[in-house]
Amino acid sequence: MAVNPAPRRVRDRAPWRLKDRRYRAAAESVTAEQRPERPQHEAGAPVRQSSLWRDAWRRYVRNRAAVVAAVAFGLLVAFCLFYPLVSPHDPYEVNFSQASESPSLEHPLGTDRFGRDLLTRTALGGRVSIGIGFAATIAILLIGVVYGSIAGFVGGWLDNGMMRFLDALYGLPYLPFAIITIAIFGNVTFWVMVVALAIASWFTAARIVRGQIITLKQNDYVRAAKAIGARWHRILGRHLLPNTLGVLIIAIFLELPAVILGEAFISFIGLGISPPDASWGAMAQDGRAVYRVHPIEIVIPSVAIATLILSANFIADGLRDALDPRTKET
Amino acid sequence: MTALVIRRLVWTIPVLLLVIFLTFVLMRQIEGNPFRTSERAIPESIQRNLEAKFGLNDPWYVQYAKYVEGVATFDLGPSLTQRGQTVNEVVREHFPESLELGGLAFLFAIVVGIPLGVVAALRANTPTDYAAMVVSNLGFAVPSFLVATLLIYFVVVRWGVADIPTSGWTTWQSKILPVVALGLGPAAYFARLVRGSMLETLQQDYIRTAKAKGLPHRRVVLVHALRNSLIPAVTAAGPLLGFLITGSFVIEQIFAIPGIGRYYVTAVTGRDYSVVMGLTVLLAIIVIVANLVVDIVYGFLDPRTRDARA
């Protein structure tokens, strides 16, 4: 068994990125917590994972900041999803007679420089921004799970080579590569943005999954499963991957802000989603033209982005604490 | 230690080759030929000559080898759309501004972020700490284009605190706002890192020892605790650079600074792919070299990483 637990390079030990450190803490904690429980799950016994998740839930709801963040996050997403359905205004209809209006009863956030209702536009832009965010995050995690579990599970020279490849790409500025990817596709659509952002930022997720798989692989229950003749796909699918779930859930809320900010930046510099389609970044770009006279137009989408990022950060912190009882007490 | 440095240096070469290769492959996927656009009808023979001149007919590995050779000799090739201009000239013309912007923003982050983190850690769980953490959480989450816009709006347009130019990169006054806008995120990042590691360091036995032997508080904090708390901040410099590069794309756009980030966007929209490629490779090299330096500095700062296998 070519287990390779010893970090070979400085980078594996050093807390390179804030994100990385949180990931790693999360990775360690989930493993540590699940370890004593796992043997009961062996030999086809019903999996009693509910207690772990119930514990985590109990710890999470005790964390006030995390709960507030989760509520804010949920409200924002719900608003973006449902408001356009009930809004009396057409988000695309240009009406210069009511351009750049201040907030009023009819337009709670005012109108943009084309006379479109800002509240409706913000919800619409949120659909695109959050949609791209979630789609790209899921893509990142999928690539990460596949790449990371192959490297971690097979081990040996393959793991070595795959990780060296990751090292090479790690830390590269993602923006130029995302921009080049967009240029390859020629025109910018929702899915092009998703692909561009995912291609440029799947490295951390892959690394985390790989580390997690390697740690899990050394558990006694994996050895036991091997001893009773479980095939590799059963070990991977039944014993290893389900245990990475905790880390992956945390990872969603760590990747999401980065991806949404990336989309906003690309759209803001004019290479992403372009008008009349809305995304928060594209709206901010639109608003920049008139910020001297009507600053609310750039403030609203930016505040939406900030709210989303902030709440996602706190949710990630709360999830980490919830899945790791040890750090909670300190 | 020497072994570590040498190993890291040698390892940098294949990384550079791979990164150049990937950029090269990506760039070749982009549709279209800069000389075969419909807007500019050029006779067939001239097109062929142009393609031959820029080596577009060579097999891909020859092009790649030529490109690597060029990078090794600091020659990034000619611009495809600006006649007679080379990518090197573009870099020489626009890079100093970006470097200065990034450097000053980095300085700002250190000067603001580290003291903020130290103060927050020393007054942990007091209103001061909470205020500092609110500021740093916000600084981290608010997109830099909003920071930049609000700075311009309030400082110049609304309050008229200072009559400073909001575009360009000439006088020192014109540099204040972009530097603050770009440096705020990294400053928040530093503050969080330093606060966290400072809290950890303050629990250490040697801090108690230093206090017990009667050293002044100031000395304990600044010399014993701060020095060791800075290690995470040093290691954060690598990713921070990526942050600064990304941020500079936006900030240069807003403040009309003629730097690399702004030119990059222009080159992408103008389909000047040799410039895009050259600048991408340049940015990648900068990041790789910065990570190399950080690794080595880290080895010096934290002796524990030295003897381990590199």
Letter string b/e over residues A300-327, b meaning 16 or more CB atoms within 10 A of that residue's CB? bbbbbbbbbbbbbbbbbbbbbbbbbeee
Q: How far apart are the first and last CA of chain B?
A: 9
- CA gap A82, A89 in Å, rounded: 13
Size of interface A-B (CB pairs under 8 A): 158
* Interchain CB distance below 8 Å, A168 and B279: no
Q: Would you call B270 an interface residue with chain A, using a CB distance cutoff of 8 Å?
A: no
Environment class of residue B227 by beta-carbon count within 10 Å: exposed (0-12), middle (13-18) or buried (19+)? exposed
Q: Per-residue pLDDT tens, chain A, 330 aa: give them.
A: 444 444 444 343 333 444 555 555 555 555 554 544 444 445 555 555 557 778 888 888 888 888 999 999 999 999 999 888 887 777 777 777 777 777 777 777 777 777 788 888 889 889 999 999 999 999 999 999 999 999 998 888 999 889 888 877 876 778 888 888 888 887 888 899 999 999 888 888 898 899 888 888 888 888 888 889 888 888 888 888 888 888 888 889 889 998 999 999 999 888 888 777 888 988 888 888 888 778 888 888 899 999 999 999 899 888 888 876 544 333
- CA gap A317, A67 in Å, rounded: 11
* Interchain CB distance below 8 Å, A306 and B245: no
In chain A, residues with a C-beta closer than 8 Å to the C-beta of B189 are 18
* Interchain CB distance below 8 Å, A173 and B189: no
Q: Would you call A5 an interface residue with chain B, using a CB distance cutoff of 8 Å?
A: no
Q: Would you call B237 an interface residue with chain A, using a CB distance cutoff of 8 Å?
A: no
Identify the residue among B80, B149, B264, B275 best suited for mutation to test binding to A, counting A beta carbons within 10 A and taking the highest: B149
3 state SS of A91: coil
Q: Please tell me the predicted confidence (pLDDT) of residue A148.
A: 92
- Number of helices followed by number of strands (H, E) in chain B: 13, 0
Q: ipTM more than 0.85? A: no
Angle at A330 between CA A30 and CA A255, to 5 degrees: 45
| Position A242, amino acid | P
Residue A170: how many CB atoms within 10 A of its CB? 22
Count of residues making up chain B:
310
In chain B, residues with a C-beta closer than 8 Å to the C-beta of A173 are 241-242, 245-246, 283-284, 287
Cβ–Cβ < 8 Å for B51, B44: no
Q: Please tell me the predicted confidence (pLDDT) of residue B200.
A: 86
3 state SS of A117: strand
Q: Enumerate residues 131 to 160 of chain A having a beta carbon within 8 A of any beta carbon in chain B.
A: none
- Number of helices followed by number of strands (H, E) in chain A: 15, 0
Choose the closest CB to A172 out of B27, B287, B298: B287
Choose the closest CB to A10 out of B14, B138, B295: B295
- CA gap A152, A149 in Å, rounded: 5
Q: Would you call A295 an interface residue with chain B, using a CB distance cutoff of 8 Å?
A: yes
* Interchain CB distance below 8 Å, A173 and B246: yes
Which residues, 6+ apart, have CB-to-CB distance to A193 below 8 Å? Answer: A132, A136, A182, A263, A266, A272, A273
- CA gap B64, B291 in Å, rounded: 25
In chain B, residues with a C-beta closer than 8 Å to the C-beta of A174 are 242, 246
Identify the residue among B249, B262, B300, B302 best suited for mutation to test binding to A, counting A beta carbons within 10 A and taking the highest: B249
Q: Per-residue pLDDT tens, chain B, 310 aa: give them.
A: 677 788 878 888 888 888 888 888 888 777 666 565 555 566 777 777 777 776 677 777 888 888 888 888 777 777 777 767 788 888 888 888 888 898 899 999 989 999 999 999 888 888 888 888 888 888 888 888 888 888 888 887 777 766 677 777 777 778 888 999 999 989 998 898 889 888 888 888 888 888 888 888 888 888 888 888 888 787 777 778 878 888 888 898 888 888 888 888 888 887 777 888 888 888 888 888 888 888 787 777 777 766 544 3
Which residue carries 């790690």 as its tokens? A170
Q: Please tell me the predicted confidence (pLDDT) of residue B276.
A: 85
> A13 to each of A150, A251, B304, how far by Cα in Å?
22, 20, 11
* Interchain CB distance below 8 Å, B238 and A310: no
- CA gap A292, B168 in Å, rounded: 18
Largest Cα separation within chain A, whole Å, is 77
In chain B, residues with a C-beta closer than 8 Å to the C-beta of A13 are 305, 308
Q: Please tell me the predicted confidence (pLDDT) of residue A308.
A: 93
Count of residues making up chain A:
330
Q: Please tell me the predicted confidence (pLDDT) of residue A22.
A: 57
Comparing C-alpha atoms, which of A282, A281, A284 is closest to residue A298? A284
Choose the closest CB to B189 out of A8, A18, A181: A18
- CA gap A280, A226 in Å, rounded: 50
Which residues, 6+ apart, have CB-to-CB distance to A254 below 8 Å? Answer: A19, A22, A23, A312, A316
